[in-house]
Amino acid sequence: MTAFEVVALGESMVTFLPSRPGRLADVPSFARGIGGAESNVACVLAAAGHSVQWVSRVGADGFGDHLVEAIASYGVDTSGVRRDSARPTGIYFRTAGDRATDAHEVAYYRAGSAASAMTADNTDLEAIGSARVLHLSGITAALSADCLALLRELTAQRPGRPLVSFDINHRANLWDRREPGPVLRELARGSDLVFVGEDEAEDAWGVTGGPDAIRAALPEPRTLVVKQGVRGATLFDGGHVTFVPSVHVDVVAPVGAGDAFAAGFLSATLRGLPASDRLRHGHLMAAAALTVPGDLAAPPSRDHADRLAALDDRAWETLRLGPGWTEADTRADEEVRTP
């Protein structure tokens, strides 16, 4: 059995990206891509040089073929993906607008999808248990009662389990009038490393007051990362607290940044880097996603990212990254400029 550094479990879908801004009703054509929080993390980590497996279910259809082939092309092991002849692969359409605005539209066609049929019985739990890190998200919990039972099994405290990483990923429109707050809190409390945005904590749990208030509401995970949007992120690791501001980014499309941040943070964690570097690598991977049109971006080389993460505080705070920055192979000090 191959032991992977990271196993990421969750649904991925074929996503249709608009050819121009506007309402879904007005967009004449769409480009095909892939989208899924956990598979996004897997792809970024694999592209950054880590051994990663994606575990899921897809339909025995062309869209399932595309997902498996596209995700494998990043270097992700897909042997843990099962095909379901009775259920389809999920798809969705979205507009080009920011998810935070009222103009943003997403049309999901995922009800009854193959991934929603994941259970503890049809998932290779032994292979998952051999990983160093198991990455999950709250999206999976919303898909079905079976998926929620699977996540409860995977977040149960037991000796020898992998480090469990859990991204809250609160998506209100997936819960169909169910109350997500208690479920997301339960799963987070069973995890070792939790990612949550300030906005998610307010929406899911009614918690306001910033990172300290969120930590008070969620004291159980040893490691808690509170994402604070363009301001930065705060890391609670045991009894230590670290804040690192975000870099300035010329945004092309505000999608995929949260998944990329998690991948950057996990990559630095696997490498044993200190707290501030883990946050900086998260910010850098998020900047890579923000400067491309789709959810996934080629990450910077490890040396490139390490040079940027090693900048002094003043240089970090004046760093500005735009489209194409991950392809630059220059010294970090040549990329620093005042906004």
- Enzyme catalytic residues: 259
As a whole number of angstroms, the distance between CA 211 and CA 213 comes to 5
In angstroms, what CA-CA distances link 49 with 46, 74, 140, 147, 200?
5, 10, 26, 29, 30
Q: Can you read off the two tokens belonging to residue 47? A: 């592209």
Q: Find out whether 233 and 244 touch, Cβ atoms under 8 Å.
A: yes
Decide the pairing of beta strands 30-35 and 91-94. unpaired
Alpha-helical regions (H) of the chain: 37-47, 62-72, 125-129, 138-143, 145-154, 180-189, 198-205, 211-217, 257-270, 275-290, 302-309, 313-318, 332-335
Q: Find out whether 311 and 336 touch, Cβ atoms under 8 Å.
A: yes
Q: Which amino acid is at 129?
A: G
Q: Find out whether 293 and 17 touch, Cβ atoms under 8 Å.
A: yes
Q: Can you read off the two tokens belonging to residue 54? A: 């994606």
Q: Could you give the 3-state DSSP secondary structure of residue 64? A: helix
Phi, psi of 271 (to 5 degrees): -85, 0
